[in-house]
Structure 1
Amino acid sequence: MKGPPLSATAGSTADHATAASIPGLLVDRVTRTPNATAFSFRSGSGWADLTWAQAQDRVRALAAGLIGLGVESETRVAILSSTRVEWILGDLAILAAGGATTTIYPSNTAGECAFVISDSDTRIVIAENDEQVAKLRSVRDQIPSVRAVVVMDGAGDGDWVHSFADLEADGAKRPEADPAAYAERVAAITGDRLATLMYTSGTTGRPKGVELTHDNWVYVAEAVMAVAIVRPDDLHFLWLPMSHSFGKALVVMMIAAGAPTAVDGSVDRIAANLGELRPTVVAAAPRVFEKIHNTIVATVRGEGGIKAHLFGWARGVGLEATKARQAGKSPSLLTQIQLQVADRLVLSKIRGRFGGRIRYFISGSAPLSAEIAEFFDAAGMTILEGYGLTESSAASFVNRPGAAKFGTVGPPLPGTEVKIAEDGEVLFRSRGIMRGYHGLPDETAATLLDGGWLATGDIGELDEVGRLRITDRKKELIKTSGGKYVAPAPIESSIKATCPYVGNVVVHGDRRNFCVALVTLDPDVTKPWAEANGLGADAAAWATNETVRAEVRKAIDEVNSSLPSYSTIKDFAILPTDFTVETGELTASMKVRRKTVESKYADVLDKFYAGSIQSV
């Protein structure tokens, strides 16, 4: 199936920027709306703004400084930092200097940083602070290609380390910072030039460097503009990691659209920022939406009484309206009347937690359960779920405003073609598809098939109007010893949506004769409930508490009731701690490293099968 051509609805956002490269998009944006706000960022206890013209002035100076440090065509410059405005300015400067950005997650260990830097042949690293510089110093003998480090928050050492401020100030004095020279250099950047070497977070095996060109990113911006998802009058709040393709794609989209972006990568401040900024568009991974849902539900349960009854009624009314719309019908007159009351008493207060102006959320990077999507839609905040891979520059499919179908990732973006292979694997192609894996020709050939089709590794199906539904990862399908195939992801999502205290779930059963689950509790959500019920604050003790197990069992039984017998969860264990990035069970984008978890808790899993036939 083909998505519509890019020209199908192009022009619906009349002021969008066009160019062959990412710095070219910025140049065009400055020409169109120089004095409009581009970025807002934390400054002391408040926020400071940069207009598009001011942002380009800073990019121009930083680019000249990087050229002074030896950046040339496709020279790799790594960014090792959390999400902040300097990440975006640094990335744009690297590209405007002609270089390519290597992405490194700030949570990576020193050894992981050394691998990415060495594998990518990175020559300069822009690091966030002294802590990140210390990582680099500890492996300096393993990264001989790095000739300079630029630190955002910190001072230079007169040798290897330079300050971000000095780089910008020195660059402003260089001839390359002349506006005419800058414009000429940007105009020479072609779409096939390497823009980003983005390392996958590695749920299995070592990370691979995905080579993404300027045209890959420009395509994503053009495709999103063609379906008018982003408007110039939006306010986009960005907290997602810029080392992930989702975050990077969002920034390119906003440059094209001319929409301002408020930037603060602090996860601890998300709730406060939403209330303070009152954004209209926010993107997140499903885990964030699950956590918000579970916090609201658990809080209301804890309050009990009239509040809990009123919440349940209002939620039910909202869900009735949602289900009617999902079926292509208008809610009944009675439901519409009830919805007005429910909105005034309950639903508007839920929206108020997010600033009260959300036009929609965007979800990506992992499957979102239909139950979570329905909850937010019932409250008047639709989640547009999308789908793409790092290898496709993040955005390839997305539900459209006013036509979202929950449980699907929507139709392909304009310019994307999709087909389903005989074994159910999703294949698609577009201008957004990567150039290849860096230094890995065999893996590139196995993923980029004849005709330019990308083998996604995901199993899916297309509905009657061409919307894609992802059912599971090809490598994560469970085959029981009875020969039955089980898709674990939908079961895991349903359990998390049903029990508000659950943090993560891993369904296990490959080559076993039945399925079991490893369950973790979300400490932030569980603690208030546990203390209110006399269960204490010891998270490890909750794992063996019968009251807690009963809550989880109730959710699993509910999910089991809708599953075929071979897919049902026969038993489960509650683990003493939740999964984290730091302990290795989660990737930086919050995906569970399934094999890591199964290996770490192999003894727990094996006990479920003691005395039974365990494998084929």
Structure 2
Amino acid sequence: MQTKNKLPLDMVYHWEAAKSNSLYMTQPIGDGKVVEYTWGRAVDEARRMASYLKSLNLPEKSRVGLISKNCAHWIMTDWAIWMAGHISVPLYPTLNADTVNYVLNHAECDVLFVGKLDDWDMMKPGVPESVRCISFPLSPPNDFETWDDIVAKYPPLEEKVQRDADELATIVYTSGSTGKPKGVMLSFRNMAFAAEGGMEVLQVGANERMLSYLPLAHVFERTFVELASLYAGFHLFFAESLDTFVDDMKRAQPTLFLSVPRLWVRFQQGVLQKLPQKKLNKLLKIPVVSKLIKKKVLKGLGLDKVKLAGSGSAPLAGDVLDWYRNLGLELLEGYGMSENFAYSHINKPGRSRTGYVGESMPGVDTKISPAGEILIKSPATMMGYYKDEEQTKGVFTEDGYLKTGDKGEIDEMGRLKITGRMKEIFKTSKGKYIAPAPIENKLMANQSIELVCVSGANQTQPFAMIQLAEGIRPKLGDPSVRKELEEELTELVERVNKTVDPHEQLAFVIIVSDEWSIENSFLTPTLKLKRNVVEDTYEGKVNEWYAQKKKVVWQ
């Protein structure tokens, strides 16, 4: 079906007419039970909620908040907000009360939809008393008006609401590895262009199946799951929880699967705990057995039906990419930002290159500035930052390119490589500049390591802080495990140091005892490390670490 120049609501009304009785969303509700939404039912409930929102007589184009883990109601709410003539403001379901309060006040949200959440009690104090709250069926206990009561009471909004392509559709607050989150303003045109271009590149059709579990509040999932399903018309499944993830995968049997590096590494570590790498390598060398083993491993991960697997939001170590490719799963890395609705670059099947994030997507113009910064321009690029003209001006070049803040280079086939962050580069006491990301990627290839932060500003040599893989941490009480790990990491440092320039060589690695998580603000909601939080936390200990003169230091 030709979707050119169709806006998101146009697609909602298209499927309502064309596939009213076809299944669109499968929502688990606990105890292995699910609720299924046809296109007709989903659009009807969205129309009813839009009718309710209109009855509130909010000012035109009001901002309406949405805080929930992924579920069918998240998507229906997005539609309802647009149908009612308003602007959706998604909030990550892992934010603390201060950030919830900041976003709701900054966006001036009058209404907030509250859904599936693990820690609502932590967030609730951040919701201003003036904000009217509406509760999804799977939300924590509360005394708000409920979705089911509202859709039972209000008639569906009959008109097919048309929104202008250049109208503001949503404000996405960046998870922000530093400072207050910025409100990225995205228009209906931005969203439509990204969705259509993504479908064209990935050749996505109506027969796909996807499992939605990365935060819909993030543009990665919003573009390639919510909008992709809306433009292609395929079946969307939701995950119930981490505990049921394997069952959720088996139910969905996804044909398209997206994840982030930290989860790809965890999937790999889960396999290797049951089937060590040496044994796996031996089995993969036996022609008859190899095919069966590959199939068994992928089936165990729920990935045996996947025809296209993607990774984004942060770099994935080359060794991990190669590990999956050896199993027959061509894992394709992509690159994008909130500021361009995650629509920028992707590796194409058969043309991917390890260490590169791929080629420009259709309509994306990419160039490298004289300082090495990646500059991008496309119709998916944001309208600007909400209520912040100064930051908006600062992030665009005079000729309209978005300054990504990333350093990069482009190869002869037009594939982009990210070589570091412009602002992350630091200077040693010898006056030499160091980009931490490439060194971190080399260390991350080791399966004992889950997270790395290379630091060392104003020191003679850089060092690396390491959080060990989840499976190793409980075993550290055993002295033999610690000794073996020290030897392994000492060898790793020596090996990495041989591959970098003398001024980039690591003085030592620190094994931190703290867990770096979203909850304690070490990670963003998309599992990126907040470098400034890590460095500030351990700043007082750095000189003591250098004084120990060891290759491996236990914090």
TM-score, normalized by length of structure 1?
0.83
- 1:66 deviates by 1.5
Amino acid at match of 1:291: R
- 1:155 deviates by 7.1
Q: Are the counterparts in 1 of residues 29 and 240 from structure 2 also a CA contact under 8 Å? A: no
Describe the shift of the 1:554–1:32 C-alpha distance in structure 2 as closer, same or farther (beyond 3 A).
farther
Please state if 1:205 is matched with 2:189: no
Please state if 1:567 is matched with 2:504: yes
Q: Which moved more, 1:438-447 or 1:27-36?
A: 27-36
Distance 2:123 2:463 in 1: 42
Q: Deviations over 1:514-563 (max 9, x none)?
A: 0111111123x2157658xx459xxxxx8xx3333223333333333322
Distance 1:311 1:431 in 2: 46
Q: Are the counterparts in 2 of residues 486 and 567 from structure 1 also a CA contact under 8 Å? A: yes
Please state if 1:473 is matched with 2:421: yes
Given the alignment, which residue of 226, 230, 236 partners 1:261?
A: 236
Q: Are the counterparts in 2 of residues 37 and 52 from structure 1 also a CA contact under 8 Å? A: yes
Match of 1:190?
A: 164
Amino acid at match of 1:249: T
Q: Are the counterparts in 1 of residues 28 and 240 from structure 2 also a CA contact under 8 Å? A: no
Describe the shift of the 1:339–1:233 C-alpha distance in structure 2 as closer, same or farther (beyond 3 A).
farther
Describe the shift of the 1:46–1:561 C-alpha distance in structure 2 as closer, same or farther (beyond 3 A).
farther
Q: Are the counterparts in 2 of residues 77 and 124 from structure 1 also a CA contact under 8 Å? A: yes
Pairs within 5 Å for 1:170-319: 170-171=153-154, 173=155, 177-179=156-158, 181=159, 183=160, 185=161, 188-250=162-224, 251-264=226-239, 266-301=241-276, 309-314=278-283
Given the alignment, which residue of 518, 526, 532 partners 2:472?
A: 526
Describe the shift of the 1:268–1:491 C-alpha distance in structure 2 as closer, same or farther (beyond 3 A).
farther
Q: Whose helix proportion is higher, 1 or 2?
A: 1
Q: Structure 2: which 5+ runs fail to align?
A: 550-555
Q: Deviations over 1:387-409 (max 9, x none)?
A: 11000011211112332222111
Q: Deviations over 1:379-431 (max 9, x none)?
A: 01111111110000112111123322221111111111011000100001111
Amino acid at match of 2:449: V
Describe the shift of the 1:427–1:189 C-alpha distance in structure 2 as closer, same or farther (beyond 3 A).
same
Q: Are the counterparts in 1 of residues 78 and 88 from structure 2 also a CA contact under 8 Å? A: yes
Describe the shift of the 1:466–1:37 C-alpha distance in structure 2 as closer, same or farther (beyond 3 A).
same
Q: Structure 1: which 5+ runs fail to align?
A: 1-14, 302-307, 318-337, 537-541
Say which SS state the counterpart of residue 83 (structure 1) adopts. coil
- Quick one: higher RCO (CA 8 Å, sep 6+), 1 or 2? 1
Distance 2:201 2:17 in 1: 23
Match of 2:530?
A: 593
Say which SS state the counterpart of residue 243 (structure 2) adopts. helix
Please state if 1:516 is matched with 2:490: no
Q: Are the counterparts in 2 of residues 20 and 190 from structure 1 also a CA contact under 8 Å? A: no
Say which SS state the counterpart of residue 275 (structure 2) adopts. helix
Match of 1:305?
A: none
Amino acid at match of 1:162: E
Describe the shift of the 1:477–1:376 C-alpha distance in structure 2 as closer, same or farther (beyond 3 A).
same
Match of 2:297?
A: 350
Q: Are the counterparts in 1 of residues 69 and 117 from structure 2 also a CA contact under 8 Å? A: no
Q: Are the counterparts in 2 of residues 102 and 197 from structure 1 also a CA contact under 8 Å? A: yes
Distance 1:611 1:496 in 2: 24
Q: Which moved more, 1:128-137 or 1:273-282?
A: 128-137
Describe the shift of the 1:145–1:18 C-alpha distance in structure 2 as closer, same or farther (beyond 3 A).
farther
Distance 2:124 2:294 in 1: 52
Please state if 1:79 is matched with 2:48: no
Distance 1:225 1:72 in 2: 35
Match of 2:26?
A: 40
Distance 1:391 1:49 in 2: 34
Describe the shift of the 1:465–1:53 C-alpha distance in structure 2 as closer, same or farther (beyond 3 A).
same
Please state if 1:504 is matched with 2:451: yes
Describe the shift of the 1:396–1:340 C-alpha distance in structure 2 as closer, same or farther (beyond 3 A).
farther
Identity among equivalent positions (%) equals 27
Match of 2:552?
A: none
Please state if 1:364 is matched with 2:300: no
Amino acid at match of 1:578: E
Match of 1:3?
A: none
CA RMSD of aligned residues (A): 2.4
Given the alignment, which residue of 130, 142, 150 partners 1:167?
A: 150
Q: Are the counterparts in 2 of residues 240 and 265 from structure 1 also a CA contact under 8 Å? A: no
Distance 2:483 2:279 in 1: 29
Distance 1:99 1:522 in 2: 44
Q: Are the counterparts in 2 of residues 74 and 195 from structure 1 also a CA contact under 8 Å? A: no
Distance 2:287 2:249 in 1: 25
Amino acid at match of 1:486: I
Distance 1:369 1:430 in 2: 28
Describe the shift of the 1:197–1:190 C-alpha distance in structure 2 as closer, same or farther (beyond 3 A).
same
Distance 2:23 2:4 in 1: 19
Distance 1:611 1:350 in 2: 43
Describe the shift of the 1:513–1:528 C-alpha distance in structure 2 as closer, same or farther (beyond 3 A).
closer
User: How many residues align structurally?
Assistant: 544
- 1:192 deviates by 0.9
Q: Deviations over 1:115-174 (max 9, x none)?
A: 10000111100112698765666345xx3652x1101136774xxx31121222223x2x
